[in-house]
Amino acid sequence: MTDNDNLRPSHFIRNIINEDLRQNKNDGRVHTRFPPEPNGYLHVGHAKSICLNFTLAAEYRGQCNLRYDDTNPEKESQEYIDAIQDDVRWLGFDWEDRLYFASDYFDRLYEYAEILIRDGKAYVDELSADQIREYRGTLTLPGRESPGRNRPAAENLDLFRRMRAGEFKDGAYVLRARIDMTSPNINMRDPVIYRIKRFHHHRTGDKWCIYPMYDYTHCISDALEGITHSICTLEFEDHRPLYDWCLDQLPVPCHPQQIEFARLNLNYTVTSKRKLNELVNERLVSGWDDPRLPTITGMRRRGYSPAAIRDFCERIGVTKNETVIDMSVLENCVREDLDRDCRRVLAVLRPLRVVITNYPEGQTEQLDAPYHPGRPELGSRKVPFSKVIYIERDDFMEDPPKKFFRLAPGREVRLRYAYFIRCDEALKDQATGELIELRCTYDPATRGGNAPDGRKVKGTIHWVAADHALAAEVRLYDRLFTVPDPGREENWRSLLNPKSVEVIKNARLEPGLASARAEDRFQFERLGYFCVDRRDAAVNRPVFNRTVTLKDSWGKESRRD
Ligand code: ATP
Ligand code: MG
């Protein structure tokens, strides 16, 4: 039992571990692993698996390894290896000195394969991939035995050694486990465990021209590392008998227990490395860290905090039922976390010039503005105020409906942390009729936001002083796809949301933001949470990403139609 047991919702994997501990299975050890294949960047689904494995280990004072399942060299690379480590570390987890590669076990895996062959549990087969598929049978038809299945062990051993020595061309032979061609579980119908493949491996170079298959590699890697609970997603449930079979045949140090849970699916996006790869390679997004992607690096660049992602993974729970989680659940976790921690600042995305006609020419005041209404310990700063300011274009209407409490001709509003102003005149371009500027007057007695005569205004709007403002690029993001479950559609690529990003070139920010550094997060008052883009922002060219809006306006909109 651990300290946090009663704070967290329990789930079936905790129940299994608790039961194992009660029976003193594995001498009371809990050892998990996160086993990515380095063939792409990690996404939010992997985040769930990372959180689950590392958190369980920590809760039970055990350990969690990071292990690369690098058995497919043609799809893997050092770039992915490095990116995965960055992502896991950024999420807040530490594998200490337990960084492993399945390729480190290639020699052991090979020796174990020879043991299987000697014991008559594996054979070399010359059937082609197509023939193997044909012989395998179907769910309703049993498989047929390959002619190679009854080759004597000595011949198999000789052939396997020659496979390794490079005597045969790619695909000429495979090594198969000798299990049961009539098994109702197709995975048990003599699965291939080694293939010949000449491909330079990112770690072992050209040492090997045969590579072990995933199912054979994974269980043995787990056993060699002393893993106790091998947690994976449901698609491996049907592979569990093979996992257990391999370990039962071999003199491995232990026999880990494979436990499957339902993968995380999020709506309006795709969580498949293959699809993400296509989006990146076909340049439908700007890269693996495009802030619209559900990759960990994309979410990071967008401004999601590690704490928010961890909180999300904990809240959605762990089950065996496939579900699709609404994106708003993730966004709400992000909002909650940022609401607590972000300083609030003034920024105008679509500036409308306002001249305060009765304000002294050339004067600048420094007004006091606290960073967070609920957290005085975050401090305050001074914001400059002067004769010409910018307000949000949307905060003015020439002919407003009844419920519009912002600025309109003859109406008065409060400028946040500053004064009441009244709109006297809206200037327009003679030719186009386009609104150019407002002429307003301010009430000097309302400094700080209240009128001594007790008169009320209904609206408070944000603003920045024109001469002091910092020009910035601001990027607004929306759902990547227009449909809730794009992954299910054949034409999923054509369902990308054309409005998933909007770039605003000339936003104006309060001047203090000049010192913001890459990845700093803020609330822009009334607009949402924003962070400094870690890739494109430069000293004199701030670029902000909108992480999330203040409220779930998107959910409301979709409910309307
Ligand atoms: P994808 O299906 O996106 O291509 P994968 O399963 O091939 O991913 P791996 O690198 O093999 O990617 O995954 C590493 C670990 O993360 C595995 O244990 C896998 O079960 C887990 N995982 C992958 N996708 C999800 C998901 N959507 N939800 C939870 N866990 C996942
Ligand atoms: Mg996988």
pLDDT digits (tens, 9 = 90+) for 153-209: 999 999 999 999 999 999 999 999 999 999 999 999 999 999 999 999 999 999 999
Ligand 1 midpoint to CA 235 (Å): 10
The pTM for the full model equals: 0.94
Give the contacts of 140 (CB within 8 A, at least 6 positions apart): none
The C-alpha atoms of residue 423 and residue 425 are separated, in whole angstroms, by 6
Question: pLDDT tier at 538 (50, 70, 90 boundaries)?
Answer: confident
Mutate which of 42, 51, 233 for ligand 1 pocket (most atoms within 8 A of beta carbon): 233
Mutate which of 46, 84, 236 for ligand 1 pocket (most atoms within 8 A of beta carbon): 46
Looking at residue 556, its pLDDT comes to: 44
pLDDT of residue 557 exceeding 50? no
Atom 25 of ligand 1: nearest residue by CA position: 45
**In DSSP terms, which residues pair with 367 in a beta bridge?**
383
Ranges of beta strands (E only) in 31-151 are: 31-34, 63-68, 99-101, 122-125
Give the contacts of 41 (CB within 8 A, at least 6 positions apart): 80, 83, 84, 87, 273, 276, 288, 289, 295, 296, 297
Ligand 1 midpoint to CA 218 (Å): 14
Does the annotation count 387 as an active-site position? no
- pLDDT tens, position by position, 378-418: 999 999 999 999 999 999 999 999 899 999 999 999 999 99
Mutate which of 13, 42, 49 for ligand 1 pocket (most atoms within 8 A of beta carbon): 49
The catalytic position among 14, 98, 144, 263 is 263
Query: Which atom from ligand 1 is nearest to the alpha carbon of 43?
Result: 3
Looking at residue 8, its pLDDT comes to: 61
Question: pLDDT tier at 2 (50, 70, 90 boundaries)?
Answer: very low
The C-alpha atoms of residue 69 and residue 511 are separated, in whole angstroms, by 49
Tokens of 123: 């054979």
**Rounded average pLDDT over 103-111:** 98
Query: Any idea which ligand is nearest the CA of 263?
Result: 1
Does the annotation count 336 as an active-site position? no
**Rounded average pLDDT over 74-80:** 96
pLDDT of residue 554 exceeding 80? no
- pLDDT tens, position by position, 464-506: 999 999 999 999 999 999 999 998 889 999 999 999 999 999 9
pLDDT of residue 558 exceeding 60? no
Looking at residue 477, its pLDDT comes to: 97
Candidates 312, 314, 313, 276; CA nearest to 294 is 276
pLDDT of residue 462 exceeding 60? yes
pLDDT of residue 327 exceeding 90? yes
Question: pLDDT tier at 539 (50, 70, 90 boundaries)?
Answer: confident
- Is-contact 319 350, C-beta < 8 A? no
**Rounded average pLDDT over 251-261:** 98
Tell me what the pLDDT averaged over the chain comes to: 95
Candidates 280, 257, 260, 256; CA nearest to 270 is 280
Looking at residue 185, its pLDDT comes to: 97
The one-character DSSP state at 481 is B
Give the contacts of 497 (CB within 8 A, at least 6 positions apart): 478, 479, 480, 481, 482
Query: Which atom from ligand 1 is nearest to the alpha carbon of 36?
Result: 10
Question: pLDDT tier at 560 (50, 70, 90 boundaries)?
Answer: very low
Query: Any idea which ligand is nearest the CA of 42?
Result: 1
pLDDT of residue 4 exceeding 80? no
pLDDT of residue 561 exceeding 50? no
Q: What percent of the chain has a predicted confidence (pLDDT) above 70? A: 97
Ranges of beta strands (E only) in 153-311 are: 174-177, 192-196, 210-212, 229-233, 257-261, 264-266
Looking at residue 7, its pLDDT comes to: 55
